Amino acid sequence: MKNKPRKATSKRVAELAGVSQTTVSFVLNNVESANISEETRRRVLEAARKLDYVPDMAARSLASGRSTNIALVIAQPHPQVFVDEFIPNILTGIHQVTRARGFRILVELVEDGTNADVYTSLFRGKEIAGMVVQFNVPSDNDVNQVVNYAMEGLPIVSLSDVHPEVHSASINKLGGVRQVVKHLVKLGHRRIGCISYAPAKTNPHADDRLHVYRRVLETAGIEYDSSLVRYGAFDPETGYEAMQSLLKEASLPTALYAMNDVMAFGAITAIQEHGLTVPHDIAVVGFDDIRLARYTTPPLTTVYEPDVDHGRIAAEMLIDLIQGKTPAQKHIQLATRLVIRQSCGAYLRA
Amino acid sequence: MKNKPRKATSKRVAELAGVSQTTVSFVLNNVESANISEETRRRVLEAARKLDYVPDMAARSLASGRSTNIALVIAQPHPQVFVDEFIPNILTGIHQVTRARGFRILVELVEDGTNADVYTSLFRGKEIAGMVVQFNVPSDNDVNQVVNYAMEGLPIVSLSDVHPEVHSASINKLGGVRQVVKHLVKLGHRRIGCISYAPAKTNPHADDRLHVYRRVLETAGIEYDSSLVRYGAFDPETGYEAMQSLLKEASLPTALYAMNDVMAFGAITAIQEHGLTVPHDIAVVGFDDIRLARYTTPPLTTVYEPDVDHGRIAAEMLIDLIQGKTPAQKHIQLATRLVIRQSCGAYLRA
DNA sequence: ACGAATTACTAATGCGTTTTACTAAAAGTT
DNA sequence: AACTTTTAGTAAAACGCATTAGTAATTCGT
C-alpha cells in the first residue's frame, strides 16, 4: 500500500532543494556563466544525493542535442582477424580518456559489406558525438563514407592514415619496417623473405610496407626478388602456409620478415617442422611485439608499438574535436621501437 | 542562399507522406496492433527513404523509456589482464546477436575500486537495457552490486557463475581442468606442478580449479603436494617467474598444469632456459587454446573454450531477458574440449 | 546618490519520439 | 435495419532534461 518512491528527476531535486529545475541543471552541469551561490549549490547537491539522483541520459541528449558516447568502429573483413592484443589495448587506452572526460564507448564491428550503414545510423541517429575508426583492411566503401563524414566536419579520428582530411593518430609502421629490415641487412643477410598481408591491390598498407622492405634492400645493393615474397592473412595459419611455400624454393632465404608476430610464429613452426632451426638456418623477425613474443622458442625479434598510448591519443584528439578545440596536429604519428631477441640471430655473433 | 534542408524528423516524414506522426511511428516500428493499410505503409516508407530519415535515438529512448544499448562490463584488477583473445572473441559473439536483434554494445572497464558506480549510472541513467558482465577477478563490491541489480529484476547475464540469482552463460572450466589434469595422470605423471592464479582467498575461481586439480590427483592415488603449486597473475611474465621458482625445488615435477596458455608459455620459456626440454623433461599443458598455441615450440596441449559461442549465447540470453522472454535455463554451461598437441608428450609414446 | 552593471536566480519553451485515448468509416451480425 | 465490431487512422500528452530570455535584488562607478 505504500507509495512507490517515484524515480528521481531533476524536478524532484529542484523541489527538495527549494529551487528551480534550471538551477539544478546549472549546478549539476557546472555552468560557469550562471552565478550560483555556494549555499544554493550545496543545497542542490545535497538534495540530489539524498534522492540518489542519476540524470536520464536520453533526456539529456535530446535536450542538449549532443551525445556523450563515442564509437570505436572496427572494419575488418572477417571475425578471425581479431588475432592479437591490439583491440584490447586500444580499448584500454581509449577508455582511460573517455572515463576521465565523461564519455562512453560504443563498439561496432563492420565486416565486409555487412553493416555498412553503421556510420550513417550512428551519426544521424545522434547515438554518438564522434568516432574512432580502425581499418584492418580498408574497403573502399568504408573509407569513402568516413572521408565524407569527416569532410562534413563530423568528429572522426582514424587509427591509421587514410586520407589527408581525416584526423589520425597512427603508428609509424613504415619506420618500423625500415628498422627491422635494416636490422636483418646489417646482420649480413642478402636473401630476406617476406610474408606480407593479402595481395597488394586489396591492401594499400601492406603494399606500402612491402615497398619499404624493397627500398631497404635496394639501398643495401640487394636486388628485390619477388619469389621470396608470400601473402598471408594476419593469422598464424596463413603465416605457416606462406612459409611452407617459401621452403619449396630452390634457393632458401636466410632470413624472414613477417608483417606481424602471429604470422611469424606460424612461419617459425613451418621452418622447424621442415627440420631447420631459427635463427641458425633462417632468422625471423615479426612486427607488433605481442606479449608472448618474449616467451616463445626462440624469443621473437620484433617491433614494439605503443598500442595503449595509441588509443589514448586518438581518444584525446577525438574528444578535443567534439568539444570544438582544434587538436595541435591533424595527424599524429607514434614511433615504434625495435626489440631485439633471439629469433634474428643477433646474439649468435655477440 | 538556398534553404538548408532541415534535418529529417518523423514530423516531416509524416507531412510528406500525408499522414500523422503517429502513423509514421506505427509503420516504422512495425506495430502489429495498429492496422495500417499496405498503401499507407508504402507511402510512409517511401517518404522516409526520400528524406533519408534516421530516427533520433535519444528521443526514441526518452519517449519509449527503453534503451537499445547493452553494456559489456569487464571488471578486472588491472589493464594488463587483457592478455589474450578472450575479449575480442566475446565481443565478436555478442556483436553477432546485437546486430541481428537491433542493439548496440557499450564497453566499460572497471578496475579495482575505480569506476565502481558504473553499474548504477548505466542502469539508472537509462543508458542501457541490460548488461553482460565479466569478472576476471571478482571483487566483493562488483559482485554485490551486480547481484543486487539482478535481484531487482534488471537484465544481467554473467560470463561466469557468480550467484544462483544471476543469469549466466559460462564455460565449464572445472570440467576442462579435470580433462587436462587427468590426461597428465594417464600419461603416467605422479609429480604434477600447477601454476594457479593469484592466491586463493582473492580469487574463488582459481580456488575451485585448484581444488579440482587436487581431487583428480587424489582420485589417482597421488598425494597433493603444495610445494608444487605456484601463483601467477594471468600474464606470461608471472608464468615465467612461477616456473623459475618451481625449478628451484629439490625434486622437480615431471609435468605442469598452467591455468592459462600464456602462463604456460612463460613456464616453457623458463624450463628451456633452465636447460630442460618440453615435453621430455617436463610435460606442460595450458588452458584456453589461444590461436598461437598450435604454432609454438612445442605446440601446446591445452583446453579449447568456445569463446565466440559464449558471447553469442550470453547476448541471446540477455536480450531475451530484456524483451521479457524467460530464457529456457537460468544458467547455461558450455563444454570445453581437450586439445592434445606436443607439449604434453602424449605423442612420444604413440 | 542615481543609473549601469552584476549577481543570483526562474518561467517557459523545445528537443523528437512513443503512446494513450479517441474517432469516423467500413464491415459484420442478427 | 439497427447494433456491434473491426479497420485505419489521428490529436495530444507525455518523456526528463537543457536552454533562452528575462527579472528582481544587489553592487559598482563616479
Give SS3 for A77.
coil
The b-or-e profile of A29-44 (16+ CB within 10 A means b, else e) is eeeeeeebeeebbebb
* Of A75-79, A279-283, A287-291, B79-83, minimum mean pLDDT range: B79-83
Q: Grid coordinates standing for A135?
A: 581499418
Query: Do A297 and B269 lie within an 8 Å CB cutoff?
Result: yes
Q: Nearest C-alpha of chain B: how many angstroms from A125?
A: 5
A121 compared with B111, residue with greater pLDDT: A121
Q: Which residues of B touch A83 (CB under 8 A)?
A: 85, 291
Do A139 and A80 meet the contact criterion of CB atoms below 8 Å apart? no
The C-alpha atoms of residue A144 and residue A148 are separated, in whole angstroms, by 6
Query: Do B88 and A82 lie within an 8 Å CB cutoff?
Result: yes
The C-alpha atoms of residue B234 and residue A252 are separated, in whole angstroms, by 39
Q: Grid coordinates standing for B281?
A: 623433461
The arithmetic mean of pLDDT across residues A178-193, rounded, is 97
The arithmetic mean of pLDDT across residues A191-210, rounded, is 82
Upstream peptide bond of B164 is cis (omega within 30 degrees of 0): no
Q: Given a cut of 70, is residue A58 above it in pLDDT?
A: yes
pLDDT digits (tens, 9 = 90+) for A304-318: 999 999 999 999 999
Query: Do A95 and B84 lie within an 8 Å CB cutoff?
Result: no
Contact pairs from chain A to chain B, CB under 8 Å = 147
Q: Which residues of A touch B54 (CB under 8 A)?
A: 120-121, 124-125
Q: Given a cut of 70, is residue A268 above it in pLDDT?
A: yes
Do B232 and B196 meet the contact criterion of CB atoms below 8 Å apart? yes
Longest dimension (CA), chain A: 90
pLDDT digits (tens, 9 = 90+) for B181-215: 999 999 999 999 999 987 655 677 788 899 999 99
Query: Do B239 and A88 lie within an 8 Å CB cutoff?
Result: no
The arithmetic mean of pLDDT across residues A251-258, rounded, is 97
Q: Which residues of B touch A106 (CB under 8 A)?
A: 69, 104-107
Query: Do A295 and B107 lie within an 8 Å CB cutoff?
Result: no
The C-alpha atoms of residue B108 and residue B75 are separated, in whole angstroms, by 8
The C-alpha atoms of residue A323 and residue A325 are separated, in whole angstroms, by 6
Do A166 and A150 meet the contact criterion of CB atoms below 8 Å apart? yes
Q: Given a cut of 90, is residue A350 above it in pLDDT?
A: no
B38: nt with nearest C1' to CA: D8
Please name the helix (run of DSSP H) or strand (run of DSSP E) that holds residue A337, with its range, or none: strand A337-339
If 0-12 CB within 10 Å is exposed, 13-18 middle and 19+ buried, where does residue B349 land?
A: exposed
pLDDT digits (tens, 9 = 90+) for B296-315: 889 999 999 999 999 999 99
Q: Which residues of A touch B55 (CB under 8 A)?
A: 125
B140 compared with B151, residue with greater pLDDT: B151
Residues in CB range of A345: below 8 A, 6 or more apart: A187, A279, A280, A283
Query: Do A106 and B82 lie within an 8 Å CB cutoff?
Result: no
**pLDDT on residue B348:** 74
Query: Do A308 and B88 lie within an 8 Å CB cutoff?
Result: no
Strand partners, B73: B108, B133
In order of A187, A262, A304, B295, the CA distances from A192 in angstroms are: 11, 18, 21, 22
**pLDDT on residue B1:** 39
B196 touches strand C (CB under 7 A): no
**pLDDT on residue B191:** 96
> Residue B155, CB half-sphere, CA atoms under 13 Å: how many?
26
pLDDT digits (tens, 9 = 90+) for B31-55: 988 889 999 999 999 999 999 999 9
Query: Do B126 and A262 lie within an 8 Å CB cutoff?
Result: no
Q: Which residues of A touch B107 (CB under 8 A)?
A: 72, 91, 95, 105-107
Q: Given a cut of 60, is residue B2 above it in pLDDT?
A: no
Query: Do B69 and A106 lie within an 8 Å CB cutoff?
Result: yes
- What strand order describes the sheet that includes A104-111? A331-334, A167-171, A156-158, A130-135, A69-76, A104-111, B104-111, B69-76, B130-135, B156-158, B167-171, B331-334
**pLDDT on residue A106:** 98
Q: Which residue of B has its CA nearest to A298?
A: B297
B34 touches strand D (CB under 7 A): yes
Count the Cβ atoms, other than its own, within 10 Å of residue B350. Answer: 5
Do A283 and B252 meet the contact criterion of CB atoms below 8 Å apart? no
The arithmetic mean of pLDDT across residues A129-158, rounded, is 93
Task: Map chain B to HEC letters.
Answer: CCCCCCCCCHHHHHHHHCCCHHHHHHHHCCCCCCCCCHHHHHHHHHHHHHHCCCCCHHHHHHHHCCCCEEEEEEEECCHHHCCCCHHHHHHHHHHHHHHHHCCEEEEEEEECCCCCCHHHHHHHCCCCCEEEEEECCCCHHHHHHHHHHHHCCCCEEECCCCCCCCEEEEECHHHHHHHHHHHHHHCCCCCEEEEECCCHHHCHHHHHHHHHHHHHHHHCCCCCCHHHEEECCCCHHHHHHHHHHHCCCCCCCCEEEECCHHHHHHHHHHHHHCCCCCCCCCEEECCECCHHHHHCCCCCEEEECCHHHHHHHHHHHHHHHHCCCCCCCCEEEECCEEECCCCCCHHHCC
Residues in CB range of A53: below 8 A, 6 or more apart: A8, A9, A10, A12, A13, A47
CA of B22 to C1' of C21 (A): 13
Residues in CB range of B120: below 8 A, 6 or more apart: A54, B145
Do B136 and B77 meet the contact criterion of CB atoms below 8 Å apart? yes
Strand A331-334 with A337-339, pairing: unpaired
The b-or-e profile of A94-104 (16+ CB within 10 A means b, else e) is bbbbbbebebb
Strand partners, B132: B72, B157
In order of A105, A262, B58, B118, B255, the CA distances from B127 in angstroms are: 12, 38, 10, 11, 49
Do B29 and B66 meet the contact criterion of CB atoms below 8 Å apart? no
Q: Which residues of A touch B82 (CB under 8 A)?
A: 85, 88-89, 91-92
The distance of Cα A25 from the centroid of its chain, to the nearest Å, equals 36
Which nucleotides of chain C does any protein CB come within 7 A of?
A: 7-12, 14-21
Q: Given a cut of 70, is residue A19 above it in pLDDT?
A: yes
CA of A49 to C1' of D12 (A): 35
The arithmetic mean of pLDDT across residues B78-93, rounded, is 80
Cα angle A328, A333, A334; round to 5: 120
> Residue A172, CB half-sphere, CA atoms under 13 Å: how many?
12
φ and ψ at residue A159, rounded to 5 degrees:
-85, 0
Closest CA to B27 of B10, B44, B39: B44
The C-alpha atoms of residue A157 and residue A175 are separated, in whole angstroms, by 21
pLDDT digits (tens, 9 = 90+) for B209-237: 999 999 999 999 999 999 999 999 888 99
The C-alpha atoms of residue B188 and residue B184 are separated, in whole angstroms, by 7
**pLDDT on residue A200:** 52
pLDDT over 90 percentage in chain B: 82
The arithmetic mean of pLDDT across residues A18-24, rounded, is 96
A39 touches strand C (CB under 7 A): yes
The C-alpha atoms of residue B61 and residue B103 are separated, in whole angstroms, by 12
Q: Nearest C-alpha of chain B: how many angstroms from A110?
A: 10
Q: Which residue of B has its CA nearest to A79?
A: B92
**pLDDT on residue B3:** 46
* Average pLDDT value for chain B: 92
**What is the torsional sign of CA B70, B76, B82, B83?**
negative
pLDDT over 70 percentage in chain B: 95
pLDDT over 70 percentage in chain A: 95
pLDDT digits (tens, 9 = 90+) for A95-142: 999 999 999 999 999 987 778 889 999 999 999 999 999 998 888 889
Length of chain A: 350
**pLDDT on residue A2:** 38
Residues in CB range of B145: below 8 A, 6 or more apart: B116, B119, B120
The C-alpha atoms of residue B214 and residue B209 are separated, in whole angstroms, by 9
CA of B53 to C1' of D17 (A): 24
Q: Which residues of A touch B115 (CB under 8 A)?
A: 99
Q: Among chain B residues 46 through 105, which have CB within 7 angstroms of nucleic chain D?
A: 59, 62-63, 65
Q: Which of B74, B107, B240 to mutate to test the interface with A (most CBs of A within 10 A)?
A: B107
Q: Nearest C-alpha of chain B: how many angstroms from A261?
A: 10
Strand A337-339 with A192-196, pairing: unpaired
Q: Given a cut of 60, is residue A204 above it in pLDDT?
A: yes
Query: Which residue lies nearest C6, CA-to-C1' measured?
Result: A35
Count the Cβ atoms, other than its own, within 10 Å of residue A115. Answer: 17
If 0-12 CB within 10 Å is exposed, 13-18 middle and 19+ buried, where does residue A276 land?
A: middle
Q: Among chain A residues 41 through 60, which have CB within 7 angstroms of nucleic chain D?
A: 53, 55-56, 59-60
Q: Nearest C-alpha of chain A: how many angstroms from B265?
A: 6
